[in-house]
A and B are shown apart, each in its own frame.
Chain A
Amino acid sequence: EVQLVESGGGLVKPGGSLRLSCAASGLKFSDFYMNWVRQAPGKGLEWVGRIKRTSAGGTTHFATPVKGRFTISRDDSSDTLYLQMNSLRTEDTAIYYCTTDMLFWGQGTLVTVSS
């Protein structure tokens, strides 16, 4: 059974940083493109960014609102995906989900940006 477990969410002040993790199991992690998706309170889903599998170059791509502030990395040796979020803004407040190829989803971790 595929499992994705996000962690690292919490309360952070505007301008601060946070790193989210997503631990994967039940799949060959290195084979998958991985994505982050977020959902602001009471709002719809928004794609954040993705990282290709390492064998495809491991390149990243981001949505315009987070470009230049967020980075995505992966550690295939530990089947873990990361989202480094810098220069956080109040509008980044959301539940952050990791997903494989947009098919399998984790349960999400809440990030709150507030002073």
Chain B
Amino acid sequence: QSALTQPASVSGSPGQSITISCTGTSSDVGGYNSVSWSQQHPGKAPKVIIYEDTKRPSGVSDRFSASKSGNTASLTISGLQPEDEADYYCYSYTSSDTWVFGGGTKLTVL
């Protein structure tokens, strides 16, 4: 199973919005309502910020939102804040009964 494709890095200024894409296939991203996004700060465990394509866990800021079209999922962070600087990973359930991750995107808040 090939990894999902994410940009290696994105950046934005405080207050701006950014979008991170995550491209897979019809056997993973496009085939199930199971895309999740996690945020990981250096030295910390991943924290899920989006699950089942568009749902936000309790306690996650509504500045984080997600969408999906075909085989590409997207994470949007609005009103960028310095604490949003982190690595972001998308992942999806697959038709092989496995999970596949994206390579991760480093977000820099300028």
Contacts and interface: CB of A to CB of B under 8 A. Distances in A.
Nearest to A107: B45
A56 interface: no
Interface string A99-115: 00011111110000000
Interface residues of B, number: 20
Q: Which 6 A-B pairs have the closest CB atoms?
A: A47-B99, A44-B104, A45-B101, A107-B45, A44-B103, A105-B45
Given A103-B51, A105-B47, A108-B45, A47 B97 contact: no
A97 interface: yes
Nearest to B87: A44
Contact of A47 (B38, B51, B100, B104): B100
Q: Is the interface of A mostly helix, strand, loop or mixed?
A: strand
A46 B57 contact: no
A61 interface: yes
A63 interface: yes
B99 A102 contact: yes
B32 to A, nearest CB: 12
Contact of A45 (B46, B57, B98): B46
B57 A35 contact: no
Interface in A30-56: 35, 37, 44-47, 50
A45 B37 CA distance: 12
A13 B98 CA distance: 29
Interface string B37-60: 010000001111001000001000
Contacts of A108: 45
Given A45-B91, A105-B45, A63 B101 contact: no
A63 B91 contact: no
Contacts of B99: 35, 37, 47, 50, 102
B36 to A, nearest CB: 6
B64 interface: no
Nearest to B48: A103
5 contacts: A44-B104, A102-B36, A105-B38, A105-B48, A108-B45
